[in-house]
Chains A and B, each alone.
Chain A
Amino acid sequence: MTTTDTVSAAAPPADPPPQPLTTRDGIPLKVSLMRALRREKMRAMLLIAPLLLFILLTFAAPIADMLFRSVENGIVSNTLPRTVEALADWDETSGEAPGEPVFAALHADLLIATEKKTHTRLGSRLNYEASGMSSLFRKTGRRAGRMDEAEPFKAQFIDIDDKWGEIDTWQVLKTFSPPLTSGYFLNAVDMELTPGGIEMKPESERVYLFLFARTLFLSLTIMGCCLLLGYPVAYLLAALPARTSNLLMILVLLPFWTSLLVRTSAWKVLLQQQGVINDFLVWTGIVSDAGRLVMINNQTGTIIAMTHILLPFMILPLYSVMKTISPSYVRAAKSLGATDWTAFWRVYFPQTVPGIGAGSILVFILSIGYYITPELVGGTSGIFISNRIAYHISSSLNWGLAAALGVLLLAAVLLLFYVYDKIVGIDNVKLG
């Protein structure tokens, strides 16, 4: 500011200004301005640097790693490099098992692999694609060292396990030999890579698409319940005088003060068939003793418990938006002749849409990734896709599949965001 002032003051008035403005020592004004601002930018960057670093290390990098894991498949070519090379010449549609050179290569590879003990890992990896592979590699690995190198390997391998003579085994090996695979993703949408191409899995083995659909459906239901229950509460919070609304706010926030597990367990106590609610209903005679309601270990349980847990996330954004809507709007609408309902629907409600958007997105995203509560109260019919992801991460150790499921979940959320942006507009989201 000072530089421009001095320039305009010092410049002779007759001078026409076609060239860009400069400071008094001839540096272009823009350059000078940039220099002046650079220090501030640097300082701002330094202040956020620790957080940026933290996020990169603990958030961005793991997500990138997960994305990579969902397609990574180096294990076959790393463990059996010679076999993979030899298999390249084999025609899997020929209907015959590969010839002696491939078995010789396999023997050489297995000798190294058993020494490093990597053959069992390969076995469990291939077991995801075809069952029996794990035990096949274990068994073969134990006996590979005792093979007679003078005799033909093919017969010796088939002698260890007939599977080596079967064409299916080799087809699986060949199909999963490239370093990148779409196998995990196909698996995640109930498809499989067969020698004949990509096919749907047999009906009885399809689980994930159904789970995705159920996750979406339950999340939307929970979001709807939260909105229906939260809207009036948020309205009360915004409309009541400060003293009463503060008390109400404490009640809304009270669930945050207790552990998630405690709350979920409390729902178990309440909802189970010998639980408080059922006992009460039987006592009042509304339901018979034999007809006790099943409200837990199914979808109902998941919906009730999750709605309760996520309700504050709907109420708070709604409240913060409603708080800013002056009561004079509704008054104005009424003075202009609108009934209570018209005043609400045409004047008040449209102004709360940003809050509804924010609350709904928040609740939806949280619920789509929830797994503790569904695990505890969902039984088998109320679990989410996240429960499967957790299972593959911690129990079956099929991280590739877990990663692929996670990526699909992420993609679904992003897609929904996009749709929401197209319909409502993301600028219309207001958290406070």
Chain B
Amino acid sequence: MTESRGAAVRYENVQKSYDGETLVVKNLNLDIPPGEFLTMLGPSGSGKTTCLMMLAGFEPATHGEIFLNDSPINNVPPHKRGIGMVFQNYALFPHMSVAENLAFPLQVRGMGKAEQEEKVKRALDMVELGGFGSRRPAQLSGGQQQRVAVARALVFDPELVLMDEPLGALDKQLREQMQYEIKHIHENIGVSIVYVTHDQTEALTMSDRVAVFNDGVIQQLSTPDELYENPQNSFVAQFIGENNKLSGTVTEVSGTDCKVRLDDGTELAAEAVNIEGVGSRTTISLRPERVEFDTDQSMDNLVKGSIEEMIYLGDHIRVRMNVAGNTEFIVKVRNRGQRRDLRTGQTVEIGWAASDCKALDAVA
């Protein structure tokens, strides 16, 4: 049912500095097609919120230009940009009722009373808060306030909605529920959404594409599965999902395959993703669930390790091992009632495919 009515956003060589000495955003280039749900993901201080605030118009760009539907908006004040925004703590006006909050953007646009009421009603129904119009925000629960905030950002039919960590204040269960609700609202009305979060599960659940920020630079811009399966550098591999790191030196490169000698002498076959060539340092990234205890000789990599610790987690067992000098090597074993013979202190053989272990840039 989505005939997309979202807006297109383009950042062109955008730079931002607050103090004139350090760049918070370093040369950002980003294209967001109409109707996309794009998440800016990154640790705090990575520049993601600054990018959002520049788009909303609350922070001027130090250099570069931001385009909204192909027109530059650097000199357009925030209230003329027509961008809906959901704030971290909702920013619902405490002195107005829920309905007044929703009517506010319509009032300032000079809309007629009857039309206002109808739009407010429709927006409240959309977030399933039909009977709550006369309440004050303080009388609502966190989840309800969150929905009102979303409804308020959508009530004036913006083409683009920005969300700045909107679920941060909710508890885990409510957060997961709201993730689906926001995702469904996006699918139903087809606006463009730019969403900022530091929670990778949130990013993976909701987004069409995720831009991983670190140090003012987009490290990788991909779909969620691509991001997890094929991280382009060590930061992304480490930031998205769980990850085992093994440091070594590249000894051989042939096409996308390479051989890496770990610091303790172990030789591994890996996929060359982000290495500088033979002799350079590299970090191998390997997802814990891709390691097998049931080895057979056809596997690309077979390594011995000793079991340091086992944690029973119901659906799977986390096994912490010492592999090639890395004592934080984690293996996840699916709980199928088998392999209950593993014991702490045992030395066992583990194996994995070369395509599951990526040779990335070296981390200090």
Query: Does B221 interact with chain A (Cβ within 8 Å)?
Result: no
Which of B78, B105, B153 is the one whose CB lies under 8 Å from A331? Answer: B78
Which of B85, B89, B109 is the one whose CB lies under 8 Å from A335? Answer: B85
A side interface size, CB within 8 A:
19
CA distance A94 to B152 in the complex (A): 84
Mark out the residues of chain A between 312 and 329 whose CB falls within 8 Å of any chain B CB in the assembled complex.
Answer: 326, 328-329
CA distance A337 to B58 in the complex (A): 13
Kindly list chain B residues whose C-beta atoms are within 8 Å of the C-beta of A71: none
Mark out the residues of chain B between 74 and 127 whose CB falls within 8 Å of any chain A CB in the assembled complex.
Answer: 77-85, 87-89, 91, 93-95, 104-105, 108-109
Kindly list chain B residues whose C-beta atoms are within 8 Å of the C-beta of A347: 93
CB closest residue in chain B, given A353: B95
A351, B82: Cβ atoms under 8 Å? no
A346, B104: Cβ atoms under 8 Å? yes
Kindly list chain B residues whose C-beta atoms are within 8 Å of the C-beta of A334: 57-58, 77-79
B108, A336: Cβ atoms under 8 Å? yes
Known: A339-B79, A350-B95. A333 touches B89 (CB 8 A): no
Most B CB contacts (10 A, CB to CB) among A328, A331, A335 go to: A335
CB closest residue in chain A, given B83: A335
Query: Does A198 interact with chain B (Cβ within 8 Å)?
Result: no
Kindly list chain B residues whose C-beta atoms are within 8 Å of the C-beta of A346: 104
Query: Does A332 interact with chain B (Cβ within 8 Å)?
Result: yes
Query: Does B212 interact with chain A (Cβ within 8 Å)?
Result: no
Kindly list chain A residues whose C-beta atoms are within 8 Å of the C-beta of B329: none
Q: Mark B167-179, 1 if CB is under 8 A from A, else 0.
A: 0000000000000
A337, B95: Cβ atoms under 8 Å? no
A332, B108: Cβ atoms under 8 Å? no
Which of A329, A331, A342 is the one whose CB lies under 8 Å from B58? Answer: A331
Which of A326, A335, A351 is the one whose CB lies under 8 Å from B56? Answer: A335
Kindly list chain A residues whose C-beta atoms are within 8 Å of the C-beta of B162: 335
Kindly list chain B residues whose C-beta atoms are within 8 Å of the C-beta of A332: 85, 87, 91, 93
CA distance A351 to B91 in the complex (A): 13
Which of B89, B94, B104 is the one whose CB lies under 8 Å from A336? Answer: B104
Known: A328-B88, A331-B58, A331-B78. A337 touches B93 (CB 8 A): no
A331, B91: Cβ atoms under 8 Å? yes
Query: Does B156 interact with chain A (Cβ within 8 Å)?
Result: yes
Query: Does A225 interact with chain B (Cβ within 8 Å)?
Result: no
Known: A331-B58, A332-B85, A333-B104. A338 touches B91 (CB 8 A): no
CA distance A326 to B84 in the complex (A): 19
Kindly list chain A residues whose C-beta atoms are within 8 Å of the C-beta of B109: 337
A328, B108: Cβ atoms under 8 Å? no
B side interface size, CB within 8 A:
27
CB closest residue in chain A, given B85: A335
CA distance A333 to B91 in the complex (A): 9
Which of B57, B82, B87, B108 is the one whose CB lies under 8 Å from A342? Answer: B108
Nearest CB of B to A314, in Å: 21
Which of A326, A337, A350 is the one whose CB lies under 8 Å from B89? Answer: A326
A-B contacts at CB below 8 angstroms, number:
65
Q: Mark A390-426, 1 if CB is under 8 A from B, else 0.
A: 0000000000000000000000000000000000000
Main SS at interface, chain A: helix
CB closest residue in chain A, given B155: A336
B105, A336: Cβ atoms under 8 Å? yes
CA distance A21 to B12 in the complex (A): 73
CA distance A351 to B56 in the complex (A): 24
Kindly list chain A residues whose C-beta atoms are within 8 Å of the C-beta of B87: 328, 331-332
Mark out the residues of chain A between 326 and 380 whose CB falls within 8 Å of any chain B CB in the assembled complex.
Answer: 326, 328-329, 331-340, 342-343, 346-347, 350-351
Kindly list chain B residues whose C-beta atoms are within 8 Å of the C-beta of A333: 93, 104
CA distance A343 to B80 in the complex (A): 13
Kindly list chain B residues whose C-beta atoms are within 8 Å of the C-beta of A339: 79, 108
B84, A338: Cβ atoms under 8 Å? no
Which of B58, B80, B91 is the one whose CB lies under 8 Å from A326? Answer: B91
A328, B79: Cβ atoms under 8 Å? no
CA distance A346 to B96 in the complex (A): 10
A337, B82: Cβ atoms under 8 Å? yes
CA distance A340 to B93 in the complex (A): 16
Kindly list chain A residues whose C-beta atoms are within 8 Å of the C-beta of B89: 326, 328
CA distance A326 to B89 in the complex (A): 9
Kindly list chain A residues whose C-beta atoms are within 8 Å of the C-beta of B78: 331, 334-335
Kindly list chain B residues whose C-beta atoms are within 8 Å of the C-beta of A340: 79
CA distance A347 to B152 in the complex (A): 15
CA distance A373 to B152 in the complex (A): 53
B94, A351: Cβ atoms under 8 Å? yes
CA distance A332 to B57 in the complex (A): 11
Kindly list chain A residues whose C-beta atoms are within 8 Å of the C-beta of B104: 333, 336, 338, 346
CA distance A335 to B78 in the complex (A): 6
CB closest residue in chain A, given B105: A336
CB closest residue in chain B, given A339: B79
CA distance A351 to B77 in the complex (A): 24
Beyond A331-B87, A336-B156, 17 additional contacts (C-beta under 8 Å) are A328-B91, A329-B91, A331-B56, A331-B78, A331-B91, A332-B91, A333-B93, A334-B57, A334-B77, A335-B57, A335-B78, A336-B85, A336-B108, A336-B153, A337-B109, A343-B79, A350-B95
Q: Which 8 A-B pairs have the closest CB atoms?
A: A336-B105, A332-B91, A335-B85, A328-B91, A334-B78, A350-B95, A334-B79, A328-B87
Q: What are 29 inter-chain pairs, A to B, with CB distance below 8 A?
A: A326-B89, A328-B89, A329-B93, A331-B58, A332-B87, A332-B91, A332-B93, A333-B93, A334-B57, A334-B58, A334-B78, A335-B56, A335-B83, A335-B84, A335-B85, A335-B162, A336-B79, A336-B84, A336-B104, A336-B108, A336-B156, A337-B79, A337-B108, A337-B109, A338-B108, A339-B108, A343-B79, A351-B94, A351-B95
Could you list which residues of chain A lie within 8 angstroms of chain B, going by C-beta atoms? 326, 328-329, 331-340, 342-343, 346-347, 350-351
